[in-house]
């Protein structure tokens, strides 16, 4: 059943079992394909209340528009899959957009953007058993660590248990760590070489095994520091994109970091789905070309 976007609500209301049926029929593929690299489009921001792109505070709030952009991105050569929360992945399943794609479930979305409890980032998204039941391919979790906020300890503990649960099912889990702090009441991630190094060391040790753990890392403030920073762990790495101001400068930074030996690919969202200039197709194709 490959639906159109206007049909989604009717099917959800009358045939909710269609989601499980579509998941059972979905054609799967290995995590790493023939290219040996991984290009994932991310769209898990809305579930944390992070809907803004630049000065457009609700840019990602139009679900039909977001789904159209995701379908375009997933159709481009070299795009391996998508990272999102259950609602978005299930829409894409019903649209038939996830055939032979890597499907990555976003696991903790409880640390809402701007909330007083943002650092207590509880697991309100996919559980390991959900990812297994739906036949998805991997999970992703966010670990922001503020040494001044006790909520970070809850996030660390629950992240370790999620790593264990994924490993018990032999499912890869992508851990996205940051050393963070509040500046004027807002959480800011520290992208200095020392902070990223420390975050890698902490994330690599989560759980009872790291056999199925990948790292999802930012490029440091000075891209030339990345080679030394990545010596902190032997775990495979994908680069994250984040929101970028200068698209061309971002491509240059990603290109340099992608040449490092532990870097296996990229997981990029808003900067490709909502590029500052040009189309989704052009942004995605340029990013794929860096691999």
pLDDT at residue 48 is higher than 90: yes
23-32: burial string, b at 16+ Cβ within 10 Å, e else: beebeeeebe
Residues forming beta bridges with residue 173, ordered by sequence position? 139, 213
Distance, CA of 27 to CA of 285 (rounded, Å):
24
Residue 26 tokens read as 């979905």
CATH for 5-290? 3.20.20.70
Tokens coding 145: 């660590």
**Residue 279, by phi and psi: left (phi above 0), alpha (psi -120 to 50) or beta?**
beta
Each domain of the chain, given as residue ranges in start order, spans 5-290
Q: What is the pLDDT of residues 133-188, one digit of tens each?
A: 999 999 999 999 999 999 999 999 999 999 999 999 999 999 999 999 999 989 99
Instruction: Give 99-129 pLDDT, tens digit per residue.
Output: 999 999 999 999 999 999 999 999 999 999 9
Nearest-angstrom CA–CA distance, 7 and 14: 11
pLDDT-above-70 percentage for the chain: 98
Round to whole Å and give the CA distance between 162 and 290: 32
pLDDT value at 1 more than 70: no
Q: Which two tokens stand for residue 35?
A: 């290219």
| pLDDT per residue as tens digits for the range 196-231 | 999 999 999 999 999 999 999 999 999 999 999 999
């Amino acid at each position: 059943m490959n639906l159109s976007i206007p049909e989604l609500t009717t099917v959800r209301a009358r045939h909710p079992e269609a989601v499980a049926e579509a998941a059972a029929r979905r054609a799967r593929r290995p995590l790493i394909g023939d290219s040996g690299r991984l290009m994932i489009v991310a769209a898990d921001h809305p579930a944390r209340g992070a809907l803004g792109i630049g000065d457009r505070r609700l840019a990602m709030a139009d679900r039909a528009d977001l789904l159209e952009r995701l379908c375009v991105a997933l159709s481009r050569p070299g795009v391996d899959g998508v990272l999102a929360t259950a609602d978005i992945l299930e829409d894409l399943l019903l649209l038939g957009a996830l055939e032979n794609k890597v499907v990555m479930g976003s696991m903790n979305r409880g640390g809402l953007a701007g909330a007083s409890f943002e650092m207590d980032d509880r697991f309100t998204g996919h559980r390991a058993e959900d990812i297994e039941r739906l036949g998805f391919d991997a999970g992703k979790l966010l670990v922001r660590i503020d040494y001044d906020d006790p909520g970070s300890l809850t996030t660390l503990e629950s992240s370790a248990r999620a790593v264990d649960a994924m490993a018990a099912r032999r499912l890869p889990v992508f851990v996205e760590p940051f050393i963070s702090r509040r500046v004027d009441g807002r959480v800011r991630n520290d992208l200095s070489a020392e902070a990223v190094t420390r975050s890698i060391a902490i994330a690599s040790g989560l759980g009872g095994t790291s056999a199925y753990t990948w790292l999802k890392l930012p490029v440091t403030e000075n891209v030339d520091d990345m080679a030394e920073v990545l010596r902190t762990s032997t775990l495979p790495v994908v680069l994250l994109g984040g929101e970028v101001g200068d698209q061309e400068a971002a491509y240059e930074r990603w290109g340099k970091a992608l040449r490092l030996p532990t870097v296996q690919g990229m997981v990029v969202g808003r900067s490709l789905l909502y590029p500052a200039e040009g189309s989704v197709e052009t942004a995605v194709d340029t990013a794929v070309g860096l691999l």
